[in-house]
Amino acid sequence: MKLTAVPLQDLSPESRSSPARVTQVIGNHQIAAIFDDIADLLEIEDANPFRIRAYRNAARTLRASTVVVSELIARGEPLPKLSGIGADLSGKIHEIATTGDCALHQRLRTTLPAGLVELLSIADLGSKRVKHLYHDLGIETIEQLCQAAKQGRIRQLAGFGEKMEARLLRAAQKGIGREHRLPLAVVAPLAQGLAEYLKQLPGVASATVAGSLRRMRDTVGDIDILVAAAHSVGVVAHLINHPDIATVLAKGRTRASVMLRSGMQVDLRVVDPAVYGAALVYFTGSKAHNIAIRQRAQKQGLKLSEYGVFRAKKCLASATEDAVYHALGLPWIVPELREDRGEIAAALAGCLPTLIELGDLKGDLHAHTLASDGSNSLEEMALAAQEAGLEYLAITEHSRSLRIAQGLDVDRLLKHIDQIDVINAGVRGITLLKGVEVEILEDGSLDLPDDILRRLDLVVGAIHSHFGLTLRQQTQRLLRAMDHRYFTLLAHPLCRLINEREPLDLDLPAIIKAARQRNCCLELNAQPQRMDLFDLQCRYAMDEGVLICINSDAHRTADFGYLRYGVAQARRAWLGKQNVLNTRSLKDLRTFLSSSGG
């Protein structure tokens, strides 16, 4: 029921008029999300219920389908027969797969008041309720919703009531002033592309992505790019000429702010190569880190600015970051640590951690194939994992209760295990482990019987339902699941989806303590919308002696590329290789699994 962000890809008129061009492969779930948006908006428009249902059914079919429709379209192959998807919806799928959106969706988004889209993002407000608020009370924005709730007008609508009114008011107040941030993995390739583009301009010495992107924060508010060039004028013009730029918000000789077609802002700063280091420290941030190192400079009788480190008027350092930190009596600090979370004290004491690197990962313990809701076969996933430099990969399909993802029952899981043996016998250089992503049911019991779980190498447990339990209930549910003797790893513990679902209400310290006592691991799930656990929580878990496992939760071969973002988040959590389970060799991993799995 939640609206998706406008897809981040080329929506220029040129690309829309050449339907054969697929700018990037769009997953079924992205097309499904647009169909769900369309259904929501049609509902608000009071369209024919059959038409609305057709879009909802099509979204469900797409999510459950094992073929990636946009890949077929890219190859010019016909779509297979999908239940409930006739000629009209097929046409829409083609349109979305080739252009990133469809005219109907855009028409609905532009003809209905823009605020309704935001209203739909409020918890408890589905399209039916938004329709009533809009038609019966004329509510179009979050502000109007707050006002009506305060005046007690919402409780008078059929099906709302006093409790709902209070809940809506709380949710709406949270929604006001909310920042628009996108997942790191969505923005990083765009930003990198822009930096490469700027580097091509003659006279540009370097172009670097700075800000939260360089610190690899899980979400990004805007893109900051720093360019070193002796002559700044051409750089701003070159950026403005880039085809992805929709509007120029501000421009000067050495700076510009522009809006990309995707709705993301870019701040460009051009500096002289002589002050590049100081500017890079400043624009990398974080603001809190900048303030802390500036205070340190002041204590030493120095002044730190984006132009360098100064004693009176004399510049001591400015050309490189290394020189700037050294002038302050500090070693260079990696961007991921620059959050004023103790990194300066650690640097002064000479005890900055040796952080995990992507190359330290030896395996991935969470992945899906065509057998549940993945898009590739066992063999394809095995080869892709090997290609990504891994030595082992745990196949962890969903279990039977998660029907939307074609969860496996006992028979299918047993057959799948046999298939894994076949692949292991045939493919060299990578070992597939037998696992499952078993549903943690509402009462904390697991979705499959013990005698099946016992046969597996590892049991990954996860929640995909009943997100709204109270803190106490939710915590008890997880503790009970972790009590299970075969339980190995808690997947995406907080179940948040960036811009879509808030993290669970949980007593995380209790979960972390239980994980230590039971020798369970906690996952750092690297799917772009998840990035779960968060950095500070991983750090807390590490401090409490709990191992973290960085997993891609791959649903397709390309998803192993997300591991680098998981590793980045682990670095932000100060984790070293020793704190991460899947840096261990297969032999050492097996030792751990046999000790933790009962």
**Residues in the site for ligand DGT, rule: CB under 6 A?**
211-212, 217, 220-222, 224, 282-283, 285-287, 290-291
Instruction: Please list every residue from 136 through 175 that binds Ca ion, using CB under 5 A.
Output: none
**Amino acid letter at 279?**
A
Stretch that binds Ca ion, among 93-101, 216-224, 227-235, 352-360 (CB under 5 A): 216-224
Taking the complex as a whole, the smallest distance from the CB of residue 340 to ligand DGT amounts, in Å, to 11
Q: For residue 497, what are its two tokens? A: 């989806």
Nearest CB to Ca ion, comparing residues 95 and 244: 244
Taking the complex as a whole, the smallest distance from the CB of residue 282 to ligand DGT amounts, in Å, to 6
Nearest CB to Ca ion, comparing residues 211 and 308: 211
Q: CB under 5 to 8 A by kind: which of ligand DGT, Ca ion, none does 291 bind?
A: ligand DGT
Stretch that binds Ca ion, among 88-96, 156-164, 195-203, 221-229 (CB under 5 A): 221-229
Of the chain, the end-to-end C-alpha distance in Å amounts to 41
Taking the complex as a whole, the smallest distance from the CB of residue 211 to Ca ion amounts, in Å, to 3
Is residue 224 at the binding interface for Ca ion, with CB under 5 A as the rule? Answer: yes
Measured from each CB, the residue nearest to ligand DGT is: 285
Nearest CB to ligand DGT, comparing residues 221 and 234: 221
Burial class (CB in 10 A: 0-12, 13-18, 19+), 20: exposed
Stretch that binds Ca ion, among 206-214, 236-244, 339-347, 349-357 (CB under 5 A): 206-214
Taking the complex as a whole, the smallest distance from the CB of residue 175 to ligand DGT amounts, in Å, to 18
β-bridge partners, 251: 256
**Amino acid letter at 249?**
L
Nearest CB to ligand DGT, comparing residues 321 and 447: 321
Backbone angles phi, psi at 443, to 5 degrees: -90, 5
Which residues, 6 or more positions from 106, have their beta carbon under 8 angstroms from its beta carbon? Answer: none
Q: Is 437 helix (H, G, I), strand (E, B) or coil?
A: strand
Nearest CB to ligand DGT, comparing residues 119 and 327: 327
Nearest CB to ligand DGT, comparing residues 183 and 374: 183
Among 27, 100, 175, 211, binds Ca ion (CB under 5 A): 211
Upstream peptide bond of 316 is cis (omega within 30 degrees of 0): no
Nearest CB to ligand DGT, comparing residues 198 and 589: 198
Upstream peptide bond of 12 is cis (omega within 30 degrees of 0): no
Alpha-carbon distance 335 to 215, whole Å?
5
Among 222, 244, 437, 535, binds Ca ion (CB under 5 A): 222
Taking the complex as a whole, the smallest distance from the CB of residue 213 to ligand DGT amounts, in Å, to 7
Nearest CB to ligand DGT, comparing residues 287 and 299: 287
CB 380 within 8 A of CB 388: no
Taking the complex as a whole, the smallest distance from the CB of residue 221 to ligand DGT amounts, in Å, to 3
CB 412 within 8 A of CB 374: no
Nearest CB to ligand DGT, comparing residues 280 and 567: 280
Taking the complex as a whole, the smallest distance from the CB of residue 317 to Ca ion amounts, in Å, to 24
Taking the complex as a whole, the smallest distance from the CB of residue 102 to Ca ion amounts, in Å, to 31
Nearest CB to Ca ion, comparing residues 108 and 256: 256
Q: CB under 5 to 8 A by kind: which of Ca ion, ligand DGT, none does 290 bind?
A: ligand DGT
Stretch that binds Ca ion, among 9-17, 217-225, 310-318, 351-359 (CB under 5 A): 217-225
The DSSP element (H or E) to which 269 belongs, if any, is strand 265-271
Nearest CB to Ca ion, comparing residues 224 and 343: 224
Is residue 339 at the binding interface for Ca ion, with CB under 5 A as the rule? Answer: no
Q: CB under 5 to 8 A by kind: which of Ca ion, ligand DGT, none does 286 bind?
A: ligand DGT
Taking the complex as a whole, the smallest distance from the CB of residue 226 to Ca ion amounts, in Å, to 11
**Amino acid letter at 123?**
A
Q: CB under 5 to 8 A by kind: which of ligand DGT, Ca ion, none does 285 bind?
A: ligand DGT
CB 365 within 8 A of CB 56: no
Q: For residue 258, what are its two tokens? A: 């522009």
Burial class (CB in 10 A: 0-12, 13-18, 19+), 257: middle
β-bridge partners, 256: 251, 268
Instruction: Please list every residue from 248 through 287 that binds Ca ion, using CB under 5 A.
Output: 267
Q: Residues 487-504, buried b or exposed e (16+ Cβ, 10 A)? A: bbbbbbbbbbbbbeeebb
Alpha-carbon distance 548 to 78, whole Å?
44
Is residue 447 at the binding interface for Ca ion, with CB under 5 A as the rule? Answer: no
Nearest CB to Ca ion, comparing residues 8 and 328: 8
Taking the complex as a whole, the smallest distance from the CB of residue 476 to ligand DGT amounts, in Å, to 36
Count residues near Ca ion (CB under 5 A): 5
Taking the complex as a whole, the smallest distance from the CB of residue 97 to ligand DGT amounts, in Å, to 30
Closest by CA position to 85, among listed 110, 63, 118: 63
CB 115 within 8 A of CB 130: no
The Cβ-side half-sphere exposure at 98, using a 13 Å CA radius, reads 21
- CA 368 vs CA 99, 229, 364, 397: distances in Å: 28, 47, 11, 5
CB 366 within 8 A of CB 523: yes
The Cβ-side half-sphere exposure at 443, using a 13 Å CA radius, reads 2
Taking the complex as a whole, the smallest distance from the CB of residue 307 to ligand DGT amounts, in Å, to 13
DSSP string, 508-542: HHHHHHHHHHHT-EEEEE--TTT-BS-HHHHHHHH
List contacts with Ca ion (CB under 5 A).
211-212, 222, 224, 267
